[in-house]
Amino acid sequence: MSDMIAAFFERLNETHGLNFSVFYDAFDRARFITGLWTTSYICVIAIAASLALGLLGVWIAGGQSRIGRLIVRGYVQFFRNTPPLVQLSFFYFAVAALLPTVSDGFGGRSPLVSGTGWAIIAFSLFAGAFNVEIFRAGIEAVPSTTVEAAESLGYTRLQLYIHVVLPLAFRICLPALNNNLINLVKTTTLAYAIGVPELHYAASQIWSESFNVREMMNVLLVTYVLLVAILVFVMGRWERAMRIPGYTT
């Protein structure tokens, strides 16, 4: 099967000059798949970290500490209202310069956090800021009578959150969360700017060597649309499974 595909694209290159090298050239394919892997890896970790950040942020924002609230507010507004690319540059070029380097085991010095690491940090912070707002909206949408009922049963704040507020709030904010996570997947292309070998970077390496810009651009575009489509599909299924019967239309 894979031989047939490879043969087909090789013939396409010879007859029509359409050079889809990723489909028949083993080296290009390996690079592309590595890029795909890096993108997925950044996505998965950043999604998990941003969800954790969102929960932590909304917990502090609802807490008693005034300073804590102020910090969360500042964090949310800062990351929501500045360009993610500049945030990434800020972390990768400016903040990284302040950190010490570590020995890489070969006698050289390497930075404490790699480009991929900074990409994950920057994207997690970026998406986390949106998640704080999304969770807040979800928590606010939990009917106050439900919260009061739980309070009157003597739940502590933590118990109230875990057993009553969060399960409901999570279901309410799932659609908004989906949008944000999809946005995060699309944002990962920015890692290209700091030379992280993700999908876009791998594609650009291939087209600068094989001179097949048009073909690779299309492959790249379709790959991303497929990636996002998979996420949309999975999250849509999940959303339907988690639906509160009779709560929304």
Partner 1 sequence: MKTAGTDLAVLLPYRAPTPIAPSGMAAPVLLSGAALTVFAILFCASLALAQVTARPAGESATTVLLRWAPLIFQGFLFNILISFLAMALGTLVGLLIGVAQVSIVAPIRKTAWGLTQFFRNAPWLVLLFYAMFLLPFEFRVFGLTIAFPAWVKAVIGLALPVAANVSEIVRGGIKSIPSGQWESAEALAFTRGQTMRMIILPQAFKRMIPPWMNLYAILTMATTLISIVGIQDGLTITRAALVAESRPELMIPLYLLLLLMFFAYCYPIARATLALERRFNVKA
The residues of the shown chain that bind partner 1, judged by CB under 8 A, are 58-59, 61-64, 69-74, 76-78, 80-87, 89-90, 93-95, 97-98, 136, 139-140, 142, 147, 151-152, 154, 156-157, 160-161, 165, 182, 185-190, 192-193, 200, 204, 213-214, 217, 220-221, 224-225, 228-229, 232
Closest approach of Cβ 8 to partner 1, in Å? 24
Measured from the CB atom, the residue of 6 and 232 that comes closer to partner 1 is: 232
SS3 106: coil
Instruction: Report how far Cα 82 is from the mean position of its chain's Cα atoms.
Output: 17
Gap between the Cα atoms of 87 and 209, Å rounded:
30
Gap between the Cα atoms of 238 and 172, Å rounded:
13
Residues in the chain: 249
Q: What is each CA distance from 77 to 59, 175, 177, in whole angstroms?
A: 17, 22, 18
Q: Which amino acid is at 8?
A: F
Measured from the CB atom, the residue of 10 and 90 that comes closer to partner 1 is: 90
SS3 109: strand
Closest approach of Cβ 112 to partner 1, in Å? 16
Measured from the CB atom, the residue of 11 and 80 that comes closer to partner 1 is: 80
Measured from the CB atom, the residue of 51 and 165 that comes closer to partner 1 is: 165
What's the DSSP call for residue 194? G
Measured from the CB atom, the residue of 165 and 174 that comes closer to partner 1 is: 165
Closest approach of Cβ 185 to partner 1, in Å? 8
Gap between the Cα atoms of 27 and 84, Å rounded:
32
Closest approach of Cβ 213 to partner 1, in Å? 5
Closest approach of Cβ 186 to partner 1, in Å? 4
Gap between the Cα atoms of 125 and 244, Å rounded:
30
**Radius of gyration over alpha carbons of the chain, in Å?**
23
Measured from the CB atom, the residue of 78 and 238 that comes closer to partner 1 is: 78
Closest approach of Cβ 101 to partner 1, in Å? 13
